[in-house]
Amino acid sequence: MKVVSGGVTAAKGFTAGGVHCGIRKSRTKRDLGLIYSEVPCSAAAVYTTNLVKGAPLLVTKNHLADGVAQACIINSGNANTCNANGVEIAEQTSSLLAKELGIKTEDVVVASTGVIGQPMTIDPFKRGVLPLVKDLSKDGSPRAAEAIMTTDTVKKEVAVSFELDGKEVTVGGIAKGSGMIHPNMATMLVFITTDCAISPAMLQKALSSDVKDTFNMVSVDGDTSTNDMVVVLANGLAGNEKIEEEGENFKTFMKALNSVTVALCKALAADGEGATKFLECSVTGAKTLCDAKKAAKAVICSSLVKAAMFGSDANWGRVLCAIGYSGADVDVNKVDVAFCSKAGSISVCEKGASVDFSEEIAKKILSEKEITIAVTLHDGEASSVAWGSDLTYDYVRINGDYRT
């Protein structure tokens, strides 16, 4: 398996693009993105568990009922959530795009991100769909990735290739997400494409299984968005024998999918709103996988831990505190904690108690941009990893006037 360039257009048969259609006030910012396959695809998706859902999610879920899609259209700047005419706009957008592409309306995935509860009209989409279709190209992944950004500071793209049945198969993806990230299914908006031949049922099985250990283990600020969605399109143009049941080929595909989703998870966490540091919590020695996940996610979600990491403060008691309320079955008298970065590693807690350590060395380790909080529970063999970012003054500044 190797990393390749191209993002969502790396796989055979996919093109993408992005334009400014007028949803955002700034004409220099793309706000409408498109991903298109030259042939219909097996499709799978997971959606936010928030009871408040953006209209595009409702429309997309209906469109994907048959497990087939051919295009994804995504806007930024307005979440199209809590609007009386939201579903109508999402359906009209699908129809406009389908007409220009010459495909079925129900084969369109529609998604939105931005401010919740803002009035929206179909006018920007009427203006933007034709230029958007004309912008489609094999090198359009960066433009699509840019078009779906909100408070993101960097585009998030990745792709890998591998071999199945003697055929080269590619999986690529783009994502957006910087704030309002604490998913329970996916993270903000993620679009993954592949030329692997795989049935809709097996594609859904692969995605639903993967998100439990990837996107569900990311947290920036503890808020689960109304518009979270991960979509995977597989057009089969690689020519491998179609995956219709579990086996070695399915395992290989799962590994490739996971390499893409993990990379996107790390990119999302590192680009948390106002973040200065990327945090990874590694939990080993848990009784069960569930316990490991609970402990890791609690540490990453702790505002006190995140604030301590921002200040490069080795306040390990906050880590133990988070584990204690995580709901994990843990013997707190066995817990070890260490802080690690490229500057080194330092043990700060052993068997649930303090140990002598140099605050100066700890400060140096925690002053790096990427930090690992290593937790050993000494209770079993299970392990898990969660990702997040530090909590900074800028996070409050960004969200204090996000709408106005």
pLDDT, residue 131, reads 98
Residues 36 and 135 in one domain: yes
CATH number of the domain encompassing residue 309: 3.10.20.340
Residues 382 and 289 in one domain: yes
Range of the domain at 295: 278-400
pLDDT, residue 261, reads 97
Low-confidence winner among 30-44, 53-67, 158-172, 211-225 (lowest mean pLDDT): 211-225
Low-confidence winner among 147-156, 235-244, 339-348 (lowest mean pLDDT): 147-156
3-state secondary structure (DSSP) of residue 290: helix
Q: Single out the residue of 24, 300, 30, 372 nearest to residue 174, CA to CA.
A: 30
Residues 307 and 335 in one domain: yes
Say if CB 276 and CB 392 are below 8 A apart. yes
pLDDT beyond 80 at 225: no
- Cα separation of 364 and 344, whole Å? 9
**Domain final position from 217, 243, 270:** 270
Mean of pLDDT values over 277-299? 97
Residues 222 and 314 in one domain: no
pLDDT, residue 401, reads 79
Helix (H) or strand (E) holding 37: strand 32-47
Higher pLDDT, 217 or 227: 217
Q: Per the residue annotation, which of 48, 187, 194, 392 is the catalytic one?
A: 187
**Domain final position from 235, 270, 305:** 270
**Domain final position from 270, 289, 321:** 270
Beta strands in 116-249 (DSSP E): 156-164, 167-176, 189-194, 218-219, 229-234
Say if CB 73 and CB 105 are below 8 A apart. no
Residues 246 and 287 in one domain: no
- Quote the percentage of the chain above a pLDDT of 90: 84
Say if CB 367 and CB 343 are below 8 A apart. yes
Residues 35 and 178 in one domain: yes
- The CA-atom distances, in angstroms, between 16 and each of 70, 145, 396 are 12, 9, 34
How many alpha carbons fall within 13 Å on the CB side of residue 357? 22
What value, to the nearest 5°, has the Cα angle with vertex 214 and ends 209 and 218? 140
pLDDT, residue 202, reads 98
- Cα separation of 314 and 238, whole Å? 50
DSSP 3-state helix, strand, coil percentages of the chain (rounded to 5)? 35, 30, 35
70-95: pLDDT as tens digits: 999 999 999 999 999 999 999 999 99
pLDDT, residue 6, reads 97
pLDDT, residue 54, reads 92
Residues 256 and 306 in one domain: no
Residues 59 and 20 in one domain: yes
Residues 65 and 94 in one domain: yes
Say if CB 17 and CB 132 are below 8 A apart. yes
Helix (H) or strand (E) holding 117: none
pLDDT, residue 187, reads 54
pLDDT, residue 64, reads 98
pLDDT, residue 219, reads 82
Mean of pLDDT values over 140-148? 97
105 is catalytic: no
pLDDT, residue 186, reads 60
Residues 259 and 319 in one domain: no
- The CA-atom distances, in angstroms, between 200 and each of 76, 108, 290, 298 are 28, 16, 28, 34
Residues counted in the chain: 404
Residues 185 and 164 in one domain: yes
Mean of pLDDT values over 133-155? 95
Residues 211 and 255 in one domain: yes
For 87-94, the CB contacts below 8 A with 24+ separation are 87/55, 87/58, 87/59, 89/55, 89/120, 89/121, 89/122, 89/125, 90/55, 90/56, 90/58, 90/59, 90/60, 91/59, 92/122, 92/125, 93/122, 93/125, 93/129, 94/59, 94/63
pLDDT beyond 70 at 346: yes
105-130: pLDDT as tens digits: 999 999 999 888 999 999 999 999 99
Q: Single out the residue of 197, 195, 192 nearest to residue 259, CA to CA.
A: 192
Work out the mean pLDDT of the chain and round it to a whole number: 94
Confidence of residue 60 (pLDDT cuts 50, 70, 90): very high
N-term to C-term CA, the chain: 46
- Cα separation of 233 and 36, whole Å? 10
How many structural domains compose the chain? 2
Low-confidence winner among 84-93, 184-193, 225-234, 372-381 (lowest mean pLDDT): 184-193
- What is the CB neighbour count within 10 angstroms for residue 370? 13
Contacts of 248 (CB under 8 A, 6+ apart): none
Mean of pLDDT values over 246-267? 97
pLDDT, residue 395, reads 85
pTM: 0.90
- Cα separation of 134 and 265, whole Å? 31
CATH number of the domain encompassing residue 177: 3.60.70.12
pLDDT, residue 384, reads 97
- Cα separation of 91 and 94, whole Å? 5
pLDDT, residue 180, reads 64
Helix (H) or strand (E) holding 223: none
Mean of pLDDT values over 293-315? 96
Say if CB 44 and CB 200 are below 8 A apart. yes
